[in-house]
Amino acid sequence: MTTATNPKVSFHDYQPELESFRAAVLLGLAREHKQIPPKFFYDERGSQLFEDILEQAEYYIPTVEKRLYQEHAADMAQLIGRDAVLIEPGSGSCEKVQLLLETIRPAAYVPMDISGDFLRKASCDLGAAFPWLHVYAACLDFTHELRLPAAVPEGRRVVFIPGSSLGNFDLPEAQHFLFQIRQLVGKGGGLLIGVDRKKDKAVLERAYNDAAGVTADFNLNLLVRINQELEGNFDLEAFRHEAFYNEQLGRIEMHLISRKAQTVSIDGEVFRFAEGESIHTENSYKYHPQEFGTLAQAAGFQSRQMWTDAGQLFGIYYLDGI
């Protein structure tokens, strides 16, 4: 269906099932090692806090990545080729792609997001800013399905994943996701993806423990959400944010740590916490270029080029479907 104001922008609603927050919380807290999946960070306040994280000096990813797109857009465009179909799973505000659109000049852009309202607004804004661009917005949960609206024209398919979101998948999930992308783009298609690199532990730990405490608020907001939406009675003062680099597993882990022995009730169910016990809320995997190359190769991709900054903090890869 096209939007009323711009015939080049169409919206396709595949009505993604919203996984129940209640079920995920009750199940996750009943486990031996308590955990809640990171996708539940992003209610309205959580999304705003994430935007605030992107502004923190210690969280280097946005600045470094943006500069890489600005410096290397022409090289990226050459590898992608003219008139490609550019597909962005988890497109959010479609901010990063705007750094590349004029240089790449795709035949079509397909943003995919689970949040319909957000996707509609971002697509309309994009259509207004780039009047030549054909936008086919797909409202779906890209972790469950990657499908293109039937109206999307034929053309070389290239998937774009900025922001290192692959890092929030565990290894089997990352492998599966890359395989799904390879299926979608086919042999001869491409993948342009930003991936955070392994680096000094202190730099990584600072990035997830910013001095202003924004990441801590983002993590603790999960408990606020449970209190508000699931009739929980978490005492926010009785939990603290913890983020550390697990060198063996190559990932930042985020936890909420109980400051004392306590019980918490959620929707009538009672959960016990020992002093120091954790709720594991997020992993953020970091990859050496060779490690990412091997992971991508197992999914049917071959790395053609990697762009990185002088500090070797972040990598953007272009890969061919083989």
Q: By the criterion CB under 6 A, which residues form the site for ligand AVI? A: 53, 163-165, 167-168, 208, 215, 282, 284
Task: Compare residues 165 and 180 and give the one whose CB is closer to ligand AVI.
Answer: 165
For the bound state, the minimum distance from the C-beta of residue 316 to ligand AVI, rounded and expressed in Å, comes to 14
- Of 75, 78, 69, 87, which Cα lies nearest the Cα of 155? 87
Task: Compare residues 113 and 282 and give the one whose CB is closer to ligand AVI.
Answer: 282
For the bound state, the minimum distance from the C-beta of residue 127 to ligand AVI, rounded and expressed in Å, comes to 26
What own/partner pairs with CB < 8 Å and gap ≥ 24 does 260-267 have? 262/235, 262/238, 264/232, 264/233, 264/234, 264/235, 265/232, 265/233, 266/25, 266/26, 266/29, 266/226, 266/230, 266/231, 266/232, 266/233, 267/22, 267/26, 267/230, 267/231, 267/232
For the bound state, the minimum distance from the C-beta of residue 3 to ligand AVI, rounded and expressed in Å, comes to 28
For the bound state, the minimum distance from the C-beta of residue 40 to ligand AVI, rounded and expressed in Å, comes to 13
The residue number with the shortest CB distance to ligand AVI is 284
* Sequential DSSP letters for 10-68: EEEE-------HHHHHHHHHTSSS-B--GGGG-SHHHHHHHHHHTT-TT--HHHHHHHH
Task: Compare residues 208 and 287 and give the one whose CB is closer to ligand AVI.
Answer: 208
Q: What are phi and psi of 272, to 5 degrees?
A: -100, 140
Q: What is the 3-state secondary structure (H, E, C) of 79-91?
A: HHCCCCEEEEECC
* Beta strand 9-13 pairing with 135-139: parallel
Task: Compare residues 53 and 313 and give the one whose CB is closer to ligand AVI.
Answer: 53
For the bound state, the minimum distance from the C-beta of residue 146 to ligand AVI, rounded and expressed in Å, comes to 18
Task: Compare residues 74 and 202 and give the one whose CB is closer to ligand AVI.
Answer: 202
C-alpha 219/C-alpha 201 separation (Å) is 20
Task: Compare residues 85 and 223 and give the one whose CB is closer to ligand AVI.
Answer: 223
For the bound state, the minimum distance from the C-beta of residue 78 to ligand AVI, rounded and expressed in Å, comes to 27
